[in-house]
Amino acid sequence: MKEKERNYQNTILKGYNMLLYFAGSMIMYEPSEECVVDFWSAGILDALPVSSRNPRFLEAAAQLRSSCENKRVCKSMLQKDFHRLFSGYLLAPPVKSVYSTRQIYVEAESVSDFYNSYGWIYRSRYRFPDDNLGIELLFLTLLTDKYITFEDDLCRIEMGNEIMRFIDKHMLSWIPDWNRLMQENAETLCYKGISTLVYACLEDINSFLAIAATQSEFIGNLKN
């Protein structure tokens, strides 16, 4: 793969990582004044770091850009919604096991097993269960960061396959149900948008890595 193409791919994935960091922080921690200033007042959500034709991504962008219009009361509204959704009434718990109980099979590999296979032992300091969405998003960004460091095409393909396996098995297996609850129960467009954004980013990263792997294999076959 040419360096220009690799750098382009890396830039796109860094943009998605930025969005996932934002979403994860809003799911794990009560929104602060700094959060409102950084993401809304500073206009970061008006100019997202990536663009996508995914209808779900476009919907998320529209929801987020229309949210938090009254900065004076935005923080209190977000904090109220955060507690309703995640820590009070638990109207949309961001925890995989809540939704996995509906599945009729037993997983051969838990999300903890996946973390352990990569030697990720520091997640315990966050004091959240391993299947909390914020923890899963953090791990996904770590995998993506690792993918970006590779220059060898085969290493990138293998790492990309692992990322897609993690997304398919441990995230997209329950995120659609969580997103439905978020759309039904969130009172702010912000949290509706964050939920839609997470769903869309996972779909986009999957598609992006699948295409990148196909392109690398095609170029490799030409060289051979």
Quickly list DSSP for 98-138.
HHHTT-SS--SS-HHHHHHHTT--GGGGG-S-TTBHHHHHH
Q: In the predicted model, is pLDDT for residue 153 greater than 80?
A: yes
| Cβ pair 71, 61 in contact under 8 A | no
At residue 95, φ and ψ (nearest 5 deg) are -130, 125
Please give the full DSSP string across 16-44, using - where no structure is assigned.
Answer: HHHHHHHHHHHHHS---HHHHIIIIIT-G
Q: In the predicted model, is pLDDT for residue 218 greater than 50?
A: no
CATH number of 3-223: 1.10.3480.10
Q: How far apart are CA 197 and CA 60, in angstroms?
A: 5
162: part of which helix (H) or strand (E)? Answer: helix 153-170
Percent of the chain whose pLDDT exceeds 90 = 68
**Considering Cα of 113, then 117, then 122, then 126, what sign does the dihedral take?**
negative
Q: In the predicted model, is pLDDT for residue 172 greater than 50?
A: yes
Q: Could you identify the residue written with the tokens 């897609």?
A: 164
Q: Which of 24-38, 172-186, 209-223 has the lowest mean pLDDT?
A: 209-223
pTM of whole model > 0.85?
A: yes
| Cβ pair 95, 170 in contact under 8 A | no
Across 83-92, 115-124, 132-141, the highest mean pLDDT is recorded for 132-141
pLDDT number for residue 111: 95
pLDDT number for residue 90: 86
Which of the four pLDDT bands, split at 50, 70 and 90, describes residue 35?
confident
Across 6-20, 66-80, 91-105, the highest mean pLDDT is recorded for 6-20
Chain length of the chain: 224
pLDDT number for residue 224: 46
| Cβ pair 6, 177 in contact under 8 A | no
| Cβ pair 81, 186 in contact under 8 A | yes
Q: Helix, strand or coil for residue 60?
A: helix
**Considering Cα of 27, then 197, then 187, then 183, what sign does the dihedral take?**
negative
β-sheet bridge partners, residue 132: 95
pLDDT number for residue 8: 92
| Cβ pair 13, 148 in contact under 8 A | yes
pLDDT number for residue 191: 97
